[in-house]
Structure 1
Amino acid sequence: MDTNDKNFEDQAKETAKNLEQEAQKTANEFKEGWNQATNNTNNLKLVCGLLGIFLGTFGIHKFVLGYTKEGVIQLIAGIVTCGFAGIIGLIEGIIYLTKTDEEFYQTYQVGKKPWF
């Protein structure tokens, strides 16, 4: 093996080592941040909380969270009970607003808890 081959082999090993370190760093950053609440969660919490309090009879807060089936149930219950089922939305809106951003994110976006 001549000197050029040895230098090329050393450079290839160094490059591979650098790429491995970079990939490991990126993987660690992804693991740390993938399940964290973002600023959008705070906005979603506020929006859903207020919608639950003011328009809970129509289940709009459920639709915003992506709970279509539960939103339809809330809407039908609100119509059938002439708005009395809106108490559920009121309670849920207050619960949403009293949770921390992280609790809200973990419970309603990650855990997909549809009621209370």
Structure 2
Amino acid sequence: MENQTVNEGKTTAIISYITWIGTLIAFIMNTNKKNSFASFHIRQMIGLSLFSLANSFVIGQFAGYWVTGAIGMGLFVLWIIGFIGAIQGEEKRVPLIGDLFQDWFKGIA
């Protein structure tokens, strides 16, 4: 990826990792002038947010607190990996599910 593209989209990419509100703000910021680096990280965070919601409401109803907590900690680790990638200016996919997020949400951001 070009250095200029990364520099232009880095702030938006970092904002996308600040809760779901940050993801929404980053999405809005990226609508006028599309930046591929920012779009990559927005898609990653949309996927992590949806998995987190599913963990809280769906899995939490059936599996109990221990399983929900363990999955939540795993999602937090994936969030840290994505956030560090945005800070370092890398398109680092979160392990295991990052490729799915890029495929599922390719038309969104």
TM-score, normalised relative to structure 2 = 0.38
TM-score, normalised relative to structure 1 = 0.36
**Larger Cα-atom Rg:** 1
Bigger relative contact order (CA 8 A; separation at least 6)? 2
